[in-house]
Amino acid sequence: MIRVAVAGAAGKMGREVVKAVVRAPDLTLVAAVGRHHGVGEDAGLLAGIGPIGVKVGSDLRQALSESQAQVCVDFTLPEAGAENGRTVLDAGVCLVMGTTGLSAAELAALDRLARERRVGGVVAPNFALGAILMMHFAAQAARVFPEVEIIEAHNPQKRDAPSGTARRTAELIARSRAESSRWAAAASGVNTSEPAPAGNSPARGLLVEGVPVHSLRLPGVVAHQEVVFGMEGQTLRLIHDSTDRSSFMPGVLLAIRRAPELKGLVTMEELLADVLRSPAAE
């Protein structure tokens, strides 16, 4: 049994994690932490599954120490995520980080700390396995299609825009472009008679790694992303929708189970590298 703590246990994603961990036969929930809402209440009651005997505390460091947690799942806010990550890793506990909005420097610092403490973890902007596949396919398509834009939509409560998923997709596309001589050759002949689209204009989206990203924040949306590729006479669209937060839980549970084997922080793409590797490339 892997002993699991949840930071942000009273939030929408935190409650889903609590339910998933309690229902998993090989995991046990030993601690739940929140900052304001839900502190002092039973985490199971907040998650809608009845009392489980684990109350939501407010001190993450104390909760990790007293519970002897092996893995901590963090779904909080960008302003709390980096501090929580440091607390978790400094305590020698594996980290599964779903909080988005952290800077590259903050993530690099967390990875260094994890390696110093000889613990591992998984950091991902999106744990839905379909979203991981969508990002993987987008990186492959970027080797052929010279033009691409991203449209993403989330609920109005999401603090960061563009989303972490959109930013990660743009990063993977940029990396794939840089590695692909075919894209470089194709791009040299695209739209040469027209000026490049204006960057960071409200009508053209925010440029992320050279990719325009358009963010929508609408009620009724959980998570949506569409990656649209274009070249002369054709378009290719990759679409992923999460219609319920339970869609993220298979990936979260996989990350919890694999985290104790790791040293340092990895992405979900790295965790699934063997699955995503194309047989044709071998």
For residue 193, the one-letter residue type is S
DSSP 59: -
Among 136, 154, 224, 240, the active-site one is: 154
What's the mean pLDDT in 45-54? 96
Report the 3 state secondary structure along 135-193. HHHHHHHCCCCCEEEEEEEECCCCCCCCCHHHHHHHHHHHHHHHHCHHHHHHHCCCCCC
Banded model confidence at residue 274, pLDDT cuts 50, 70, 90? confident
Quote the pLDDT of residue 22.
Answer: 98
Helix (H) or strand (E) run with residue 102 in it: none
Give the contacts of 59 (CB within 8 A, at least 6 positions apart): 33
DSSP 85: H
- Per-residue pLDDT, averaged over 143-154, amounts to 94
What's residue 188's pLDDT? 45
Residue 181 is predicted with a pLDDT of 65
Q: What is the pTM of this model?
A: 0.84
HSE (side-chain half, CA atoms, 13 Å) at 146: 16
**Residue found under tokens 């959109």:** 166
Cβ 87 vs Cβ 5: under 8 Å: no
C-alpha to C-alpha distance for 27 and 215, rounded to whole angstroms: 36
4-8, 181-185, 246-250: least confidently modelled range: 181-185
Q: Which residue did the predictor score with more confidence, 5 or 277?
A: 5
User: 185 pLDDT exceeds 60?
Assistant: no
Domains, the chain, ordered by start:
2-123+245-276 (3.40.50.720), 129-242 (3.30.360.10)
Whether 214 is a known active-site residue: answer no
Greatest mean pLDDT range, 69-78, 156-165, 172-181: 69-78
Mean pLDDT value of segment 35-58: 94
* Confidence (pLDDT) at 178: 87
**pLDDT band at 278; cut points 50, 70, 90:** low
Q: What is the pLDDT of residues 188-209, one digit of tens each?
A: 444 433 434 555 565 678 899 9
Residue 126 has pLDDT above 60, yes or no: yes
Could you read off the pLDDT of 79-103 as tens digits, one per residue? 899 999 999 999 999 999 999 888 8
Q: What's the whole-number mean pLDDT along residues 22-50? A: 95
CB 126 within 8 Å of CB 158: no
To the query of whether residue 154 is one of the catalytic residues in this protein, the response is: yes
What local confidence, expressed as pLDDT, does residue 194 receive? 40
pLDDT at site 97 = 96
